[in-house]
Structure 1
Amino acid sequence: MGLRVGVAGIGKLGREHVRVFKGFDEVDFIGCYDLIEERALQASKDFGATTFSTVQELIDAVDAVSVVVPSTKHAEVAVAALEAGKDVFLEKPIASDVRAAERIVDATQRHQRILQMGHIERFNSAFEAAFPFIQDPSFIEIHRLAPFAARGIDVSVATDLMIHDLDILLLLLKRWPEDIRAKGAGILTTGPDIINARLEFANGCVANLTSSRVSVEPMRKIRVFSPNRYLSIDLFRRRVKRYEKGEKFKEGVARLKELEGSPGVIDLSEFLTIEEFETHGDEPLAKELKTFCRSVLTRKPPPVTGEDGLNALKLAEAVLDKIERESTTL
C-alpha cells in the first residue's frame, strides 16, 4: 500500500491536485471532499475517486491531505487534520489572517507533522534555473498581472497573487524590509485588486512589486539587477535571459565615454555574456506535490514550510496595512 492521500476542496485547483496525485506511483489516492457535493461527485466520476460526505471522514481515511478549500477555511481544515496526526499540503495563502496562520503553525509543531505550503513559483523551472545566478541583488522588479476571475476574491490581491512574490523576496533576501510603501485600488471587489509596493531592505536592495487581477493580458516576470549581472525571468513562458559583465566590460564603458555626444554606436553585446533559454521539465504543481510526498515518506522538512507561509502572509498584511494607513491620511 502506498501513501494514502486525499484532497479537501474540489474547485478548479483542487481538481488539478486530484489529477496529479492519481498519477503518482507512490500514492494510494483515497478520495476527495467538497462542501459542494456535486463537485466531489464529478471528480469521483472523472478520476475514479471516492467521495466523502464530511471533511473529517476524509481526514480519518488518509495519511496526508491536500487542503485546497477557500483560504477562510484553511485553519479549520488544516488544524483538524494536524490534530488527527495527518500531514498537510496547504495551498497559499496559509490562511486569511495571521492569527489563523499562527494556529496552523502551532498545531504543526505540537503534533510534529509535515506541513508544506503551496508557493508554486518556487517550483517553476524558470525560477529554478535562474536561482543559482541570483547573488547580492541591488534591485528587484516583479510584475504579476492576471485577468479577473471569480476564484480567490475572498481575499485581496496581496494575499491572492502578490504573496507569491513576497515569498520569493523573503527567500532571496532572507530578511524583513526596513521600509514599505504601497498604493492599491479596488476595481471590481471591495479590497485592492491592483497594488504597487516598494520595499527597501537593510542591505540596500530595493524591490518594486506590481500585482493586478484586473489586467487584460497575463504576465509573471521577475527582473533582478546585481552589480555584475541582470536576469529576466519569465515565469509565464518559463524563459530566462541572463546578461553578465564580460572580461572586456570596462573597456566597453571607456569606449562609450569616448563616444559621448558623438553619433557613434557600440554594440554592448561585445562586452557582455548574454544567454537566453527556455526551460523544461515537469509541471510545477507535480513537482511540489511530489516533494510533499517525499517529505512525508522520509520525514524530512519540506522546502516550503508553514513558517515560510506565515512570513509571506505577515508581509502581505504589512503591505495592506500601509495602503490603508496612507489612504486615511489623504
Structure 2
Amino acid sequence: MLKIGIFGAGHLGKIHMQQWKEIPGIELVGFYDPDDNNAATAIAQYQVPRYTTIESLVQAVDAIDIITTTTAHYEIAKTALLNGKHVFVEKPLTHTLEEARELVKLVNEANVKCQVGHVERFNPAFISIGDQLLQPMFIETHRLAQFNPRGTDVSVILDLMIHDIDIVMHLVKSTVRRISASGVAVISETADIANARIEFDNGCVANLTSSRISLKKMRKMRLFQRDAYIGIDFLEKKTEVVRLKDPGDGKGMLDFPIELGNGDQKVISVQMPHVEQTNAIRMELAEFADAIIHDKPVKVSVYDGYQAMDVAHQILKKMSIHNELHNV
C-alpha cells in the first residue's frame, strides 16, 4: 500500500481526500491543516486522522499531496523532498519563481516523483484528441468564471490562466519570443480579468483571455493549424475536429465537398472524437501513484510547473508595465 498524506483540508483538499480513498492500493494516512474548522469537517466526513505538525505527517508517509494556499507550497514540498518523499503539489507550483527554481533543483537531487496539479491535462475532452497530429500555429483560449473569493490571493493569471498557459506550452514546444498583456483589478487587489498574447519562435501565436468576474462560465480552447481546426470545450467536455481533406481520404461524421476555385476539389470533414467521461482529479492522482509504484515519468513534471509559472510571471510583468504606461 502506498501511504499518502494530505496537506490542506479546505474545499479542494476534501475533494482530494475523497478521491484518494477510492483509488486502489492507497492508504490515506492522515492530513495536516492548522485551521480547526477545516480539520473538524474533514475528520467528520472522511474519518482521516489529523497530524499537528508538517514533519510528523511527512515522516509517516511515502508521498504527500499539497493543496494548501500557494504561499505554503514551498516549505511543505521542501520538507518532504529533503526527507526523500514523493510530492504532488497543486498549481501554481509555488508563490515565487525563486521558490519554483529551488524545487526543480531539490526534486532532481532527491530523485523522487513530483507532479504538479495542472488538472486540465487530464480533462477527458483534452485526452480525446491525443491521437490527433497537433501542430497549432494559432491558439485562442477563453477561461471565464464567476467571482469566488477563494483563489483571490493570487491574480487571475496564476489562478485561472495558468491552466491554459500549461497546455499551450505542452502543445507548442517552442521557445517564447515575445509576450504582451493587459489586465484590470475590478473586485480584488490583483487582476481579475486579463488578456495575453504569446508569440513563439516557430511562428505560433497564442491569445489567452481569463476572467473571474464573468456572469457565465467558459473554458474553451481553439487550435488552428494547416488544414485543420480543433475545438476543445473543457467545461462541457466536448471536442470537434474540422479538417480539409482530399476526396476519398476517409469519411468524417459530416463531409462537405468544396471547390477551391482553381478546379481543385477538397472535402471539409467534421469529426466529434469520443470523450470518455472520466474524473480528471482522480485520474491525475491515480497516475501520480502509478508513476511512483512502477517508476514511470509523471505526466506533469515539476519543470512543466516551473515553465508555466515562468510564462505567467512574464505576463504579470508585462501587465504591470502596460498599466503603468496607461496611468501616466
308, 313, 325: which one pairs with 1:312? 308
Please report how far the alpha carbon of residue 278 of structure 1 lies from its aligned counterpart in structure 2 after TM superposition. 5.4
Q: SS of 1:135's equivalent?
A: coil
Name the residue aligned to 1:127: 126
316, 321, 325: which one aligns with 1:325: 321
Partner of 1:283: 279
Q: Distance in 2 between matches of 1:41 and 1:86?
A: 27
Please state if 1:252 is matched with 2:259. Answer: yes
The 1-side partners of 2:24 and 2:206 are apart by: 41
Shift of 1:250: 8.6
- Provide the secondary structure at the position in 2 that maps to 1:58: helix
Is the Cα contact below 8 Å between 1:221 and 1:236 reproduced in 2?
yes
Structure 1, 131-140 or 112-121: larger mean CA deviation: 131-140
CA contact (8 A) 1:72 1:154 kept: no
Please show how residues 182-201 of structure 1 align to structure 2 within 5 Å. Answer: 182-201=181-200
After TM superposition, the runs of 4+ consecutive aligned structure 1 residues lying more than 6 A away are none
Q: Secondary structure at the match of 2:131?
A: helix
Match of 1:221 in 2: 220
CA distance in 1 between partners of 2:65 and 2:311 (Å): 24
Q: Distance in 2 between matches of 1:239 and 1:208?
A: 21
CA distance in 2, matches of 1:88, 1:78: 7
1:70-119, Cα deviation, whole Å (9 max, x unpaired): 00110011111111111110000001110111122222112112110100
Describe the superposition over 1:124-144 as per-residue Cα deviations: whole angstroms up to 9, x where unpaired. 111011233252212110111
**Contact 2:7–2:31 at 8 Å: present in 1 too?**
yes
Partner of 2:2: 3
CA contact 1:87–1:114 (8 Å) conserved in 2: yes
Letter in 2 for 1:321: K
Q: Which amino acid aligns with 1:314?
A: D
CA RMSD of aligned residues (A): 1.9
Contact 2:178–2:198 under 8 Å retained in 1: yes
SS in 2 for 1:231: strand
- Number of residues paired by the alignment? 318
Check conservation: 1:121, 1:284, Cα contact below 8 A: yes
CA distance in 1, matches of 2:129, 2:142: 17
Letter in 2 for 1:38: N
Q: Distance in 2 between matches of 1:74 and 1:134?
A: 36
- For residues 72 and 175 of structure 2, the distance between their equivalents in structure 1, rounded to whole angstroms, comes to 28
Q: Label 1:256 to 1:224 Cα distance change in 2 as closer, same or farther (>3 A).
A: farther
- The residue aligned with 1:261 is none
- 1:1-330, aligned counterparts within 5 Å? 2-248=1-247, 251-254=258-261, 271-277=267-273, 279-330=275-326
Check the 8 A contact 2:5/2:31 in 1, yes or no.
Answer: yes
The percentage of counterpart residues that share the same residue type is 35
Q: 2:6, 2:13 within 8 Å by CA — same for their partners in 1? A: yes
- Higher helix content, 1 or 2: 1
SS at match of 2:81: helix
TM (norm. structure 1) is 0.92
Determine helix, strand or coil for the equivalent of 2:129: helix
The one-letter amino acid of 1:24's match is I
The verdict on how the C-alpha distance between 1:256 and 1:155 changes in structure 2, with shifts beyond 3 A counting, is farther
**1:238–1:278: 8 Å Cα contact kept in structure 2?**
no
Aligned residue for 1:260?
none
Aligned partners of 2:94, 2:146: CA distance in 1, in Å? 23
Q: Deviations over 1:249-283 (max 9, x none)?
A: 895222899xxxxxxxxxx9x93111125512320
Counterpart of 1:77, as a letter, is I
Work out whether residues 73 and 93 of structure 2, in 8 Å CA contact, stay in contact via their aligned partners in 1: yes
Q: Secondary structure at the match of 1:130?
A: coil
Counterpart of 1:265 in structure 2 is: none
* Structure 1: runs of 5+ lacking an equivalent: 258-267
Residue pair 2:242, 2:269 contacting (<8 A) in 1 also: yes
Amino acid at match of 1:244: R
Counterpart contact for 2:129–2:273, Cα < 8 Å? no
User: 1:263 maps to which residue?
Assistant: none
State the Cα deviation string for residues 10-42 of structure 1 (Å, max 9, x = none). 111000110000011210111111120221221
Q: Distance in 2 between matches of 1:108 and 1:183?
A: 34
Distance in 1 separating the partners of 2:210 and 2:106: 32
Structure 2: gaps spanning 5 or more residues: 248-255
Give the TM-score taking structure 2 as reference length. 0.93
Is contact 2:5-2:61 (8 Å) kept?
yes
Q: Distance in 1 between matches of 2:218 and 2:130?
A: 19
Q: Distance in 2 between matches of 1:12 and 1:176?
A: 36
Paired residue type of 1:47 = Y
Is the 1:134–1:224 Cα contact (8 Å) retained in structure 2? no
